[in-house]
Amino acid sequence: MEIFIKTVQLLLSLSLLVILHEFGHFFFARLFNTRVEKFYLFFNPWFTLFKYKKGDTEYGVGWLPLGGYVKISGMIDESMDKEAMAQPAQPWEFRAKPAWQRLLIMVGGVVVNFITAFFIYWMVLYTWGEQYIPVSSAKHGLYYHEVAKEIGLQDGDVVLKVDDFTVEESSDIARLILLEDAKSLTVKRGNETFNLSIPEDYDQRMISEEVRGFADVRYPVVVHDLMSGSKADEAGLLTGDSIVSINGESTAFFNEFSAALFNNVEKEIDLGVYRGDELLTLNLTVPKSGKIGFYLVTPDNYVEIQRHAYGFWEACPKGIAKGVDILVGYVKQLRLIFTKEGAKQVGGFGAMGKLFPSTWNWYVFWSNTALISMILAFMNILPIPALDGGHVLFLLYEIVTGRKPGDKFMEYAQITGMILLLGLLLFANGNDIFKAFFK
């Protein structure tokens, strides 16, 4: 069921973005009286799931969910329709239009994807606002991934700065290390503040270990409520109990407690529990799920959560700024894929599917859809033949030089680009398959 929910979210998100992207091309084509022969969601080699024709355009849904397309008359595209291109240019064809109109038709999809991303971020901030836990309010400090501990960080430390960048929330630490080529951390440990050096190529170490939770806020394990009939209920846990140990080993914080439970799946354990000032020992067997069936007192009882609600118009510039920040971060991290470890992390549809949670969450769905829209826009504008950016590059050449690339050159460029894209698609999804079965 979890895989099904993730798949549905991914397909819905991609379908929405593909339709909007192709509508961008469609809109400008029709604006300049250019004939659009087909408008398809998904590809349709050999057969089509659904289609109908209105005017000159056939609308349809293909069976291969790898994108979508619009077929514009008089344009060398994926269809490689050489017969049509061999005929004299007609007034309604793409090739008969001025270069500036063809340029707008080609960038239309990317423009719509960028606008979509900014609009979604605007609506997300207006609807849900923002909230995060400032590291300054983490009175129990942070806990760290084992890779973070390799450079001297300890659970309970608080990272105040990465180089000269101030850390606002725990997720900033890994982001700044990866994107800003950071060299040092300013760390607070108890009453002491000191610097830790970041080794050379540490970002590659983080990538190779696929570090996702580099640091997070620590909070104690206090029972808020119990699931009736659960292992915790049967063992005698009560609301307000503080769990401090498992089999005599300290688990005063939730990250330690959770890890210890999974290390003792289907084993009998002794829980050390404070009930008021009294230390008790409760016995239970950890189920296969690694969860014993109680709800925690929420972290906002121990830390100050920063919340900000935005008015409708106030959220607009904030949403645009958020989109720009995410785009800049994405562009910066692209340099990492040209390394040995970075190339291993290139992913396809499986990697995108992992962005979505196993239960439906509209906030996460729309946030991820905005992110994917931004990525699709940027990737499509890259100057690679067969992508929108490749066509834009040739059109800019034509505008500057006054010379139009020949049809034969465009045909070969399109084929080259399609081979490159197919190779990248196979490589990215091959990485997903390899990780699924061999890691």
Sign of CA dihedral 219, 225, 229, 234: positive
Quote helix, strand, coil % in the chain, to nearest 5: 45, 20, 30
Structure tokens at 330: 């994405």
Q: How far apart are CA 291 and CA 286, in angstroms?
A: 7
Calculate the CA 136 to chain-centre distance. 27
Q: Which pLDDT score, from 0 to 100, does residue 273 have?
A: 92
> Which amino acid appears at position 19 of this protein?
I
* Nearest C-alpha neighbor of 212 from the set 170, 243, 246, 275: 170
Q: How far apart are CA 80 and CA 102, in angstroms?
A: 18
Mean pLDDT of the chain: 86
Per-residue pLDDT tens digits for 371-400: 999 988 988 888 887 788 888 888 888 888
Q: How far apart are CA 346 and CA 428, in angstroms?
A: 5
Q: Which pLDDT score, from 0 to 100, does residue 78 have?
A: 55
Please list, in sequence order, all residues whose beta carbon lies within 8 angstroms of the beta carbon of residue 156, skipping any fewer than 6 positions away: 140, 141, 142, 143, 189, 218
116, 373 Cβ separation under 8 angstroms: yes
Structure tokens at 187: 């760390």
Q: How far is CA 285 from CA 60, 244, 247, 248, 385, in A?
A: 56, 17, 12, 15, 60
Q: How far apart are CA 275 and CA 436, in angstroms?
A: 44
Q: Which pLDDT score, from 0 to 100, does residue 401 have?
A: 86
Q: Which pLDDT score, from 0 to 100, does residue 75 have?
A: 78
42, 67 Cβ separation under 8 angstroms: yes
As a CATH number, domain 135-218 is 2.30.42
For the CA atoms of 32, 33, 37, 43, the dihedral, rounded to the nearest 10 degrees, stands at 20
Q: CA-based angle 298:301:302, to the nearest 5? A: 105
Domain edges within the chain: 2-126+367-438, 135-218, 221-300
135-218 and 221-300: identical CATH topology: yes
Look up the pTM and report it: 0.82
In order along its 439 residues, the chain shows pLDDT tens digits of 778 888 889 889 999 999 999 999 999 999 999 999 999 998 888 888 989 999 889 999 998 887 888 999 887 665 555 565 666 677 888 888 898 999 999 999 999 999 999 999 999 999 999 988 898 888 889 999 999 999 999 999 999 999 999 999 999 998 888 888 889 999 999 889 999 999 988 888 888 777 788 999 998 999 999 888 888 888 888 999 999 999 989 998 999 999 999 999 988 999 999 998 899 999 989 888 888 888 988 888 878 888 899 999 999 999 999 999 989 888 887 776 666 555 555 656 666 677 788 788 899 999 999 999 998 898 888 888 778 888 888 888 888 888 887 767 777 777 787 787 777 767 666 655 666 566 5
Structural element, H or E, at residue 137: none
Per-residue pLDDT tens digits for 246-263: 998 999 899 999 999 999
- What kind of fold does domain 221-300 have according to CATH? Pdz3 Domain (2.30.42)
